[in-house]
Structure 1
Amino acid sequence: MAFTADADGRCQIFTWDASARRARQVTHRPQGTAHSAVDPAAHVWWFDEDARGAGRWLFQPFDGGPDRPGLTGVPRGTPRGLSVGDDATVVMGVGGPRSTTVYTGTRGGPAREVTRVNGLVTLRGTTPSAGLLALGGPAGSARAVTVLSPDGRVAAVLSGERHRLWALGFAPVRRDGADELLLVQETDDRYLPACWTPDGGLRTHPWCAFDTEITARWYPDGRHVLIRQDRHGRSVLYRAGLADRTLAEVPTRPGSLLDAVPRRDDDVHVLWTDTAHPPRMYSTAGTALPPLATIPGQVPGDHRDLWTTGRGGPVHTLLSLPADRSGPVPAVFLVHGGPTDHDRDAYDGIVHSLVASGFAVARVNYRGSTGYGPRWRREPGGDVGLAQTDDLAAVRADLVGRGLIRADATGLWGVSWGGYLVLLALGRHPGLWQAGVAVKPVADCAAAHRTTTPALRALDERLFGGTPDTVPARYARNSPISYAGRVADPVLVVAAGHDAKCPPGQVRGYLDALRAAGARHEAMWLDSGHDGYEGEDHMAVLRRAVGFLDRELRGPLRAPKTPPSARKGGSRRSHDAAGEDTA
């Protein structure tokens, strides 16, 4: 197997040989590495990307050797799918500024262009012989899934306009002489596994319906699939026989499964966690998997679930409280990003740090979050950001009313889309929150749309119902910069100079608006992109944010001990608004 783990403070790619119980570090990139794969011939693949996320696929033998390009003649771009067949046929999707190109060829050989598609699509898989390949577009579009032959001929187009549709991959072996593509279809209130074959077309399996989001993977036998359901912040696994209509739960520990992979002989490898335990790998059949360097024992704190009556229905919160508290305590609301995501019963180093520092932490799965069914995900409608900030306010009032948190000491902390909601909440409800931390946020929706990635431009247009030119009032109504003059609470804004998703220009514009309004704020700039893979950056943000919240919610900051990195000269990758080192 290949996996991503920490190596001296950076994400890097490793291999694991279960029979020898030996791990090997594959990459040593200064900026870290996150994407990897193993092909049928046991070559290890990894994506060599720059701070903006553009790069190319490289590979090397499982036991080590020189890195080689997956296909030659492929321009640098963003990774949009990789598949390597049993016969060393490679198919890869490469994203450009406004299009996606699919290439094929023999591993390490010259590339041949299969097709070029405007907009964002992703290679979702190929048949074992690479005789067919599946491209996934927007799930609710007329071309949600397109099946092609290697010469670019269209074999089928599956629409998601009536029911959203996602392609998950072809079966690893042909069944009854036919290639079979696995999909998930969303109905009005359910998610169903579905299959497509060249002769039979698309068919769903309504006997196997789920009330919240699912994903699935084929077992090696090509007859069963492993279904992972995300429900109310936790995960459940099922083994489904789609042909014989059988469904059995795969026993797992309560919590969240960050990944789950079916193997031979009904073995399943999972990456498990809950709020009190950092991620751990284990096998349902006892296969030796890599031990991860982690925190021993259980994370301190009182971790519980709480439901609040909201305008759109019950709102679920994962609440963590200091174990030794007496009475209400200062609280930080960690606001998840996405927006199509949810907070899980999973370990988070920020939760650990805040609870250990005496704060309560609330993780709210507001309207629009996944894990609560199609209707909850669609509930905000056109109220982009507004419904979510209303839910945050409702949960805050509930926690104050229960005597769990202090009404005069509640803050917000969010990253990316979560950072957007933090800024919007501070502007829409001045005085309700006493401090906010927004990390790599969307601060000006219209300006971000002009300079962000094609995928996020498409998301904006779906959420707002058009572009800033066609529906300017909607972008203005739901944009934090429109409320910057009303911000009355101190805010720390952290941004990245090479952020392609939440571009730095629109953050600078928001900071200028705060400055013009005389709002109290701080800024911290990182010399990285949106998806930072360096632990040093995360630690610098964590120190700055916890110190900021401690000062604003509990009084003057106590002088911290000088961290080792500062004694050695500090990080040169994180800077405050004046350009000075903050580590």
Structure 2
Amino acid sequence: MSRGYRLFYPALPVLAEHAPHRAVYVGDVDGRCEILAWDRRDGTVRQVTDRATGTIRAALDPTGNTVWWFDDDLAGVGRWRICDFGRPDRSVEALPGVAPARHGGIATATDGTTLVGLSGDDGLVLHLRTANGRVTEAARIPGYAYLVDLDPAGRLVAVGADASAGTAVTVLTADGERVAGIAGRPERRVWALGFAPGPGPARLLLVVEDGGGYLPATWTETDGLTRHDWCRFDTEVTAGWFADGRRILVRQDRHARSLLYEVDLDGRTRTVVDTPPGSILDAAVWPDGDIAYIWSDSVTPPQLRSLRGVELPYGPTGPGGPSAPDDTATTDCHRDEIWVPGPGGPIHALVATPTDRELPRPAVFLVHGGPFQHARDAYDPLVEILVSTGCTVVRVNYRGSSGYGSAWRNDFGAGVGLTQLEDLAAVRAHLVAQGAIEDRRVALWGTSWGGYLTLLALGRQPDLWRLGVAISPVADYAAAFEAATPALRELDVLLFGGTPDQVPQAYARASPITYVDQVRAPVLFAISTGDVRCPPAPVEAYARLLAARRVPHQVVRRQAGHEDFDAQSHLALMQTVLLFMQRHFDGVREEGTPVALAMARPAG
């Protein structure tokens, strides 16, 4: 078991298939996410990237000799570069002459042939680079799509799209010829996960949603799709292969926590992998057979664990993350979870309450992003910060959240956003009735889709919420659609049942700007200049409307993309937000956990 070094970005190191002692991972370099090359045999670590905005995407060829990393700008547009594992300071373009685009997937065959997906407004383009460096265009796929995997022989390619569409999964040859398609439906979504390693016929792993549950499936060119109905899960799962191409490692998200299973598809057995209670943010079977995973719980920042006891190395700036476990800042609070009756069924919420204050207390509802994510039993520095100010922190897994089954995840019956507000209001009413929180001192704080719900609630439910913090929010859904990437447009069409031109009333009904004249609570906005997921211009327009009505507000503008991987930037933002709350939200005290200690990793 690891000593608990914090990971700056909660993703597993990537190991070379034929040289598993060589790995690359995202580590902390002066408070930024950067790619580090790690030789596990001799314990050395070398810094690969050094960019002002940080770097989070990297890959290794099967031999471990070549490191790939994505050199993107704040909007996510960039080029892949390559360098020798032993000389990371010398990199060159991996695909010379190919225009910059957004990351759309990368996969490598056994012989080192690499397939790269690059996404643009017109769709996905696949580029093939052979082991000797020859680059060709393999295929063009219109609309939203992403590269899933290249089979070990380098012959077949799996491409994913909207899991509920008729084009959910497409299998092509490496030169672009269509081999097969696996269709999804709104009630039977399909996700492709990757080809089995090793020799023999290509075998693709998938997850199928069916009958309210989730089950693994496999596809081969000769047999087509085979469903493994005996291995059904009641909540969302993902999976990856063991090296034998027969077993899979399944990670299940269930009720804010995670479980791991070893599943033998041929032997029809399912065994729980022993992991501590909490959340598993990433998991994989490494080429050497070790099961590795990123684990966290409410008081422990994300850390690498493995069944063989792998530990992160000491990098250029210390241990494998920004700080060691002995300076973890956790506050003295009571942590609980509740189930509250709601209009769509029982609502699960995580509650953290200061132990040094009498009930009831001021409260902050920390609204998770998504729409299909969830609040986890995992370390969140914002919880520590807010509890230290004297506030109870409530995290609600409203309808649309994953980890509670497909019926809950797909329920938007009252409308996009409006369904989620019903659940937030139900949990708030329950806690007020229980005497746990003060009726007149309840705030909302959300990032991305959570920021959107924050703005929507302030206008739709002005009597319930005393203050709002909206980081990278959507303020006008129709305007955001026009500026969005193909992937986000596809999601919006799924949620609303069409485009803004096709169903304008649905977009207007779900847009915070529709209700801006009803907002009375002070609002802090944080927007990023390079944000293509939640564009800043509609938020600026929303803020101007508040200004015209003299509603207290503050706009923080950052030089960043949708996700900011600079710890100092997060630190500055948190300090600004706390000052805003002290001015506009009664009951927030100045003393408490130092923000610098609580910020274990950037919040995404």
Query: Do the two structures share a fold, i.e. TM-score over 0.5?
Result: yes
Distance in 2 (alpha carbons) for counterparts of 1:56 and 1:526: 24
TM-score (norm 2): 0.90
- Name the counterpart of 1:367: 399
Pairs within 5 Å for 1:478-557: 478-554=510-586
| Alignment check: 8 A CA contact 1:18 1:287 kept | no
Matches within 5 A, 1:302-313: 302-313=334-345
- Does structure 2 conserve the Cα–Cα contact (< 8 Å) formed by 1:340 and 1:368? yes
- Displacement after TM superposition at 1:294 (Å): 3.6
Aligned-partner Cα distance in 2 for 1:562–1:370: 32
Cα root mean square deviation, aligned = 2.0
- The residue type equivalent to 1:15 in the other structure is A
Aligned match of 1:54: 77
Which residue, 153, 176, 188 being the options, matches 1:129? 153
2:102 aligned with 1:78, yes or no?
Answer: yes
Q: Deviations for 1:464-493, whole angstroms, at most 9, x for unmatched residues?
A: 111111111111111000000000111111
Q: Aligned-pair distance for 1:163?
A: 1.7
CA separation of 1:134 and 1:107: change in aligned 2, threshold 3 A:
same
Task: Tell me what 2:54 maps to.
Answer: 32
Please state if 1:173 is matched with 2:198: yes
Give the deviation of 1:142 after TM superposition: 0.7
What are the within-5 Å matches in structure 2 for residues 187-206 of structure 1? 187-206=210-229
- Out of 178, 187, 197, the residue aligned to residue 154 of structure 1 is 178
Partner deviation per Cα, 1:246-288 (whole Å, 9 max, x = no partner): 1111100110111111125642111110111111112112234
For residue 470 of structure 2, what is the aligned residue in structure 1?
Answer: 438
Task: Tell me by how many angstroms 1:73 deviates.
Answer: 2.4
> Does the CA-based 8 Å contact 2:388-2:592 persist in structure 1?
no
> For residues 344 and 302 of structure 2, what CA distance do their matches in structure 1 show?
33
Once the two structures are overlaid, the 10-residue window that deviates more, 308-317 or 262-271, is: 262-271
Q: Does 1:89 align with 2:92?
A: no
The residue number in structure 2 matching 1:569 is none
* Counterpart position of 2:267: 244
Distance in 2 (CA, whole Å) between partners of 1:82 and 1:281 is: 23
Q: What is the CA–CA distance in structure 2 between the aligned matches of 1:506 and 1:198, rounded to whole Å?
A: 48
Q: Name 2:11's counterpart in structure 1.
A: none
Question: How far apart, in 2, do the equivalents of 1:294 and 1:479 lie?
Answer: 43
TM-score, normalised to structure 1, is: 0.93
Q: Percent identity?
A: 45
Deviation at 1:312, TM superposition (A): 0.4
User: What is the CA distance between 1:321 and its match in structure 2?
Assistant: 1.4
| Unmatched segments (≥5 aa) in structure 1 | 565-583
Instruction: Give yes or no for contact 2:243–2:287 (8 Å, CA) kept in 1.
Output: yes
Change (3 A) 1:160 1:329: same
Q: Which amino acid aligns with 1:118?
A: P
- Distance in 1 (alpha carbons) for counterparts of 2:168 and 2:594: 53
Of 142, 165, 168, 1:144 maps to 168
1:205-244 alignment, distance < 5 Å: 205-244=228-267
Separation (CA, whole Å) in 2 of partners of 1:166 and 1:202: 12
> For this pair of structures, how many residues does the alignment match?
562
Superposed counterparts of 1:382-393, under 5 Å: 383-393=415-425
Instruction: Output the CA distance in 2 between the equivalents of 1:275 and 1:559.
Output: 22
Secondary structure at 1:549 match in 2 = helix
The superposition leaves residues 299-344 of structure 1 with CA deviations (integer Å, 9 ceiling, x where unpaired) of: 2222221111110011111111123232222111111111111111
Q: 1:314 to 1:555 in 2, by over 3 A?
A: closer
Q: Give the counterpart of 1:64 among 87, 108, 111.
A: 87
Higher RCO by CA contacts (8 Å cutoff, separation 6 or greater): 2
**Residue 188 of structure 2: which of 163, 186, 192 is its match?**
163
Deviates more, 1:377-386 or 1:121-130: 377-386
SS of the equivalent of 2:440 reads strand
- Residues 412-421 or 522-531, more deviating: 522-531
- Report the equivalent of 1:267: 290
Q: 1:180 to 1:382 in 2, by over 3 A?
A: farther
1:91, distance to aligned residue in structure 2 (A): 0.3
Cα deviation, 1:166-196, whole Å, max 9, x if unaligned, reads: 000000113xx31100000001311000000
Q: Runs (4+) of structure 1 moved beyond 6 Å?
A: 559-564
SS of residue in 2 equivalent to 1:236: strand
